[in-house]
């Protein structure tokens, strides 16, 4: 567990920072679609749910990616 926390606090490479931000944006868009106060077609609601999941996974993986400076 401590190793994961250390990885989360370590610097993230630039490419993965961009990827993390894209994932957060996808999750936000998906959350907005899924929680829309108007009745949306089932297809759009499903897409919103998938966007939330994909965005969350991309953001989490990108945040835990670090550079290996020990070489």
Judged on CB neighbours under 10 Å (0-12, 13-18, 19+), 17 is: middle
Predicted confidence band at 69 (pLDDT cuts at 50, 70, 90)? low
The residue-averaged pLDDT of 16-37 equals 93
Confidence of residue 70 (pLDDT cuts 50, 70, 90): low
What are the pLDDT digits (tens) for 33-56?
988 888 889 999 999 999 999 999
Examine the pLDDT at 71 and tell me if it is beyond 70.
no
CA–CA gap between residue 54 and residue 41 (Å, rounded): 20
């Amino acid at each position: 567990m401590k190793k994961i926390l250390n990885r989360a606090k370590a610097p993230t490479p630039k490419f993965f920072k961009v990827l993390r931000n894209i994932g957060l944006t996808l999750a936000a868009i998906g959350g907005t679609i899924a929680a829309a106060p108007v009745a949306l077609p089932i297809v759009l609601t499903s897409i919103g749910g998938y966007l939330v999941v994909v965005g969350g996974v991309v953001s989490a993986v990108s945040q835990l990616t670090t550079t290996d400076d020990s070489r």
